[in-house]
Amino acid sequence: MQGDSAGFTAHHLPGPLGQDDSGEGDAAATLPASWPRRCAGTFFGCGTALLGFLYLLVVGTVLGPFLLWPPTRISALGIMVTGARRLTTLERTRRAVFFGDRFPEHYKASDQKILRYLAVRSYTGLLCGVVTGLLGFGVVLAGLLVRGMAQATLHWDELLMQVLLGSVLLFLDVQGLHSLATLDARIARECFGPSERELLQQRIHELATSRAAVVQAVDSERRRIERDLHDGIQQRLVALGMLLGRARRGRNPEQADALLHQAHQESQNILAELREVTWRVYPSALDSLGLKEALGGVSERCSIPVRTEFDVTEALPQPVETAAYFVVSESVTNAAKHSRATAISVRVALLGRVLTVQIQDNGAGGADPMGSGLSGLRSRVAALDGVLRVDSPQGGPTTITAELPCA
């Protein structure tokens, strides 16, 4: 049998330029529907349930021997499922027209789920028809009771008993219809959209993938810091020590002064590089001054003009601010080093409960979305249930967009 296909995305994040990166939506998002429409849908469902019951009875009886014989079982099952899918399509249309349900367009249930839904739907629909018939019969009896009261043919004790018994039966009848309607909606969600179990398994898979990506990103960041310290600052400290040693051993005062001047200049360079490394590890301005000022520091340290547009009027969660900062910092650094760009624009905006960060440069393009830097950013963003998109055609421009939920 064909397995369940749960290929549908639950994220719904607005794009930075008015685009919509929505998935297929929830398993069954219900729009408001009037009571007359819902009642009409319930009555119509009784007819479709009868049709489904007759289909299972007749086709199941005809194909029964072929289903029991292994060589013809697959073909017979395929024929039976084909008709069942058409009937379930009718049920899906009924739920959409009369109840306002919306289901994922590209979700395809398995053959086993289709047959199980049709069987359960036929049973519940026929039972709903029986309960509806009893309700109609009760209305007729109520009319007869009213006529008896008008003609004064009923004694008060008989009238009291009839009203009491009718009220209890009416309550049970209405509760039965409500329960059957709820069951109908639930089995529709189970068939026409990912079930709660499928959604839970998908979420577990996403969390496991995100956790592994975060661990990998942390390891990559540690290796980068180690390279920065070893290949940069450590080498400069060695050179500084050699300069001081030569100045201490020198006999010529003028040469010693020149060496000390070089050592002083080298110490300034070491401090600048150390400050750069610490900013790349975590900027202290992010805690003390906020995201806007921290992004201003990124613009000041970049050798290329950076135009920043910051449209956030409320406080952001700290993890979101940190991720947004590193997305901007890494993207600007990559653009300055590799893209041959002459201008970079940064836009940070809060749209609803989603922080959208967009970095664009006019460089040569061709950025590799699977590179170590962008992969680390994608992992950092995914850890917050966010989305990172990279658009970098050959010839440019390069646009990096991150969407970070703030809920």
Give residue for tokens 């008060």: 156
State the Cα–Cα distance between residues 318 and 32, nearest whole angstrom: 38
Q: Which pLDDT score, from 0 to 100, does residue 1 have?
A: 36
Q: Where are the beta strands (DSSP E) in 95-228?
A: 101-102
**Is residue 205 over pLDDT 70?**
yes
The pLDDT of 364-385, averaged and rounded, is 78
User: Which of 178-187, 197-206, 262-271 comes out lowest in average pLDDT?
Assistant: 197-206
**Is residue 276 over pLDDT 80?**
no
The pLDDT of 198-219, averaged and rounded, is 72
Higher pLDDT, 152 or 291: 291
The pLDDT of 394-405, averaged and rounded, is 88
Q: Where are the beta strands (DSSP E) in 20-82?
A: 29-30
pLDDT tens-place string over residues 229-249: 777 777 778 888 887 888 788
State the Cα–Cα distance between residues 298 and 326, nearest whole angstrom: 10
CA 373 to chain centre: 24
Give the highest mean pLDDT range of 101-105, 189-193, 251-255, 321-325: 321-325
Q: Which pLDDT score, from 0 to 100, does residue 270 have?
A: 79
Looking at every residue in the chain, the average pLDDT score rounds to 79
The pLDDT of 47-70, averaged and rounded, is 89
Confidence of residue 357 (pLDDT cuts 50, 70, 90): very high
Counting Cβ atoms within 10 Å, is residue 194 exposed (0-12), middle (13-18) or buried (19+)? buried
Q: Which secondary-structure segment (H or E) carries 155?
A: none
pLDDT tens-place string over residues 119-134: 999 998 888 888 888 8
Output b/e per residue, 357-383; b: 16+ Cβ within 10 A.
bbbbbbbbbebeeeeebbbbbbbbbbb
**Is residue 64 over pLDDT 60?**
yes
State the Cα–Cα distance between residues 337 and 399, nearest whole angstrom: 16
Give the highest mean pLDDT range of 27-41, 187-201, 290-304: 290-304
Q: Which pLDDT score, from 0 to 100, does residue 16 have?
A: 35
The terminus-to-terminus CA distance of the chain in angstroms comes to 40
The pLDDT of 301-307, averaged and rounded, is 85
The pLDDT of 356-384, averaged and rounded, is 81
Q: Which pLDDT score, from 0 to 100, does residue 58 have?
A: 92
Q: Percentage of the chain surpassing pLDDT 90?
A: 8
State the Cα–Cα distance between residues 45 and 319, nearest whole angstrom: 49
pLDDT tens-place string over residues 149-182: 777 776 777 778 878 888 888 888 888 888 888 8
CA 369 to chain centre: 21
Written as one string, the DSSP assignment of 193-254 is S--HHHHHHHHHHHHHHHHHHHHHHHHHHHHHHHHIIIIIIIHHHHHHHHHHHHHHH---HH
Confidence of residue 32 (pLDDT cuts 50, 70, 90): low
State the Cα–Cα distance between residues 198 and 7, nearest whole angstrom: 10
**Is residue 4 over pLDDT 70?**
no
Q: Which of 83, 16, 30 is nearest to 52 (CA)?
A: 83
Domains identified in the chain and CATH numbers: 29-193 (no CATH), 213-281 (1.20.5), 290-407 (3.30.565.10)
